[in-house]
Each structure stands twice: as C-alpha cells, then as structure tokens.
Chains A and B, each alone.
Chain A
C-alpha cells in the first residue's frame, strides 16, 4: 500500500515540476513581449462580475504578497547558485579525487584481512558488538578454530548443515533455470493453449 502511494506521489511530483519548468520556459522565452504588453479592457469585458480579475490585470505593480514570493524566489535562487559555486568541485579537483580514490581504496583494503566475515578491527573490538544486520550469526571461522579444537569440529558440522540448507533453499533460485530435460513453462503453455508440441525435451 505504502509502496504504491510513494510511487504515485513521485510521479505526481514530477508532473508538477515538469509543468513548472515549461511555464518558466514560456515566461522567460516571451519575456520581452510580456513585459511590453499593456492590458486594456474592451467595453465588452464583464467588469461588474469579474471585477477582481480586472483589477489584477490592470495592476501596474505586483500584489504585495506576490512581491514577497518573488523576492523569496530570487533569494533562494541566488543562494542555490552560490551553494553550487561554494560546494561543487572543480574539474581539477574531481580529477584529483578520482586519481586518489582507487589507490586510497586499495591501501585501505590491504589493511584488512579479507575472506573472513569480520575485519581485524571488529575482531579486536569483539565480534558480538558488530552490527551486521543479519538474522543468522555469521561464524567467525579461523579464530575459533585456533582457540578450541573441539568447538571447531562442531563448527565444521554446523557449516556442513548450513551448506545443505543452502542447497535446499537454493531450489528457489534454481527454479527460474529449468532442470535439464524439463519442458520450459512457456512451451507447456503454448501446448496447452494452441496444441503446439514443445520443441525441447520430448520427441
């Protein structure tokens, strides 16, 4: 439910923003014309019933409220531009960053022992404190094996069980790839719908 609301919200927002962009384009494109236009009511204009609209049209100065909006918009626009100047990286800086990043990452990676489930730092801090976000407890293989032989055996057993579990769970993954010799779903459907014999599998 939530999901659907969010996507519709997003699409609505993008529609609104697209409309705003096209309005602003129109305004800036026709700026000269619009600023030189003068409103002049024809006698046929229903002045009585549309007095409010008439007044708005004949204004030479903006409504104070509108003027506030405009000022607000101008300042926020200016500040946005300034932010961009202040925070954005220049080409040179970006190039520098990209030059440094792979090497930096490599250096950082060398400091960790990869392959285990935990980093050296985390082990020193105590692995029970690490927030992994996993529901199953990742076994910390090598350190435990060093400490206690018997426990390591238990650990191994458990790992094998885990492996088996994975295989069973893996069926779900394997499903999308048909078992060898099996007729793919779409060919079964085609036979069911139109009597076209499957190409694969059976003769």
Chain B
C-alpha cells in the first residue's frame, strides 16, 4: 500500500530536520538539511528555500530529489521521491511557511539567519517507509475529530450572534481543551480586527484592535489562511509586531489602543484560523499555549472546519437580525432613576465615549451608544431595532458589510465589563433594549 503524505505530517513540523539529497549534472551527490517542509496536499509538498546553495543549483539543473523524513513522535523514517514544480514568493503558503520557519529558527538558535526566500513546491512521486526501529506515539491529549463533531453540534442551537460567539469560545475551551484563546471580528471598512470574546487572560481585551496584515492574527486575516507556529519567536511576538505595524501604517490614532490586547507574552505555540463565509472574511480565531508544538496539523484541520461552520452560522444570524420579528414592543414606563449621577462624555471627532472619566469605547460602537443615550434622555426610549440603527444618520454605518450585530455584542460586553449602570440586551430577532439604572448627564465635547 502506498503511504499518504497526510499520514506522516508530524515529520514536517521541523523538530528533526529532513535530509534532502540531490545530484549535480556530473553525477556527484549532495546532502543538505532541510529546516522546514509544509504539507500542501497528498500529492504536493513545499520545502523552504532559504539560501542559494548546491541543493538549489542541482534542483534547477534538473536533479531528481529524494527526501528523508523522520517522525519525532515514533522515530519512523520515510523516503520521499519528489519532482520540483515551482517556487512561490508570496501568498498564503509562503506566509504560513515564513511564520513557522521563524519559530523553528528561534528554537534551533538560527533566528535572524533562517529567512524564507521562497516556498518550493514539489510533486510527491513516491513515499516509502525506511526499515528501522520505532516507538509508540504518545497518546494525543484531545481527539480532535470528536471535539469537532461535538462543537459543530453545539453551534447549531443558538438564537443569536451573541449566543453563537459564547458557544464558540466555550467549545474551543471545553471540547478542544484550549486554555488561551480569542475571537476577533473583521471590520472591513477600517481594515482591522476587533476582539469580541476571549478566554484565559487576566483582562478580556474585548474591544482591542489589530490591523489586518499585522502580527500573526493580521497576516492570517490578510492571507485568509491558517498560520501556525510551534516555538516562541520574537518575530511574531504579539504586542511588539502589532505596535510596529500600527506605527508603520500611521494608524495609531485610528485604531483602538486604549484597550490593551490580551495575549500571553511568552506564548510558545500560536495558531490563527480565518473565519471565512461566502467569500468574505468575518473574523479570526486565535489560540495559543505556553507549551512547544501544542497545535499540530490535526488541531489546525479541526479548527479550520470549526471556523467554517462558525462563519456560516454568523452569516445566518447577521441576515436574520436584519428582519426583526413583528411582535409589538411596549416601551417600559419611565422610572425615577436613583443613585449617583453618571456623566457620559462623547468626543465627536472619533466617537469615543467616557463614563465619568473612564474610557469605554470609540468608533461605530461609540456612536451607537451615544445615539441610544440621546434617545433615552430626550424621549425615554428604551427599545431599539437593528433596522432602525442602520438608517440612523447619527451613526454612519460603513455599509452593507458593517457587522452591526457584532458591534452591538461588542458594546454590550464593554458595558457589562464596566458595570456602570448602563446595559443593552437582546429582546428578540433584530431587537434590543437599553437599561439605565442611574441618572445620566450627557456631555458633548
């Protein structure tokens, strides 16, 4: 039986370097060590091209290529026969390999020396096991396929986006056993992602933002491709790259920087998975761990499928929330508010909102809250619809792909975290209610 490449993918994680052998036109063999190989599909493998060396010269001169791969889990070895096809120097595969190589370089003391020049794509002609000793692989911590089955079952039972997001992070934590994770939504108009849910951090970071293209999460979003790193590398360290990215793009002012990004400062394993549906990037799932090589190909596969299900469910909820249910809504009778008055300050330049002197939020979510509080103080209004917000000239939503429902969840969560006596809650499809528990003073700046 011919071996399939997907049955030996652990050999490609870079723990034990592959050995690549070629032959020059004069018949002299050459051996080189391969930093990294990447599974493309069962017929194709990508090898990292970092230096123009004898191997590359031989390959370009038409040498057949053999590869010796070794499993760090079982010690089994495999001999692959390859045919060079082409080199990619940009795009999802290149970025996946570049990120993974940064981790491998850091792990092997080669940071700053290993630099990906290209992803060489080869056709896999044959895979043969090499006779030799082996050991049993360690027991996997999680059965990814079963975790996926249970998770997708659970996603199907949500009434709205908020419930869906909560279930999603709950599945990642409980079913997949992931202790540190974030769920970020895509803001197409502003070219960034905002954190909407997280688990495993001292501060939730809800509302923090990352530009598309910056850091591991931003690159995952830009390329719409999973990105996975198995070892700690300063090159993709979270805070630094994001800040560098912001400064380089001159976006410091435009982006949310008052809310710190959550994230482990010393994560060894990191993985970002794009949430794509109907050819649109909806968000990114980000997971991390202090342990080396915590996420492998199986975890990546499972989370890609999970993100696919989550994306379709998100689209479904966004569409249904555009058509509010027809149940008549009765405004609650006004009540006399008690307690210490709360000053809500709005800065029109960026729609930022401060509760007393504490920053809450800015941007579209800030504009929404200001409009709601204005209606409440002027007219005692407490019931609102998504449809109404969409045509409200005070809010200036960026267009059809505005992620309104996600922005409402963001606002709801920021208010709940602040716990200052203002709350919004879903009351039905495309409807929500505003609750104010303290006397308000609105101040426009």
**Mutual binders A and B:** no
A contacts, CB < 8 Å to B: none
B contacts, CB < 8 Å to A: none
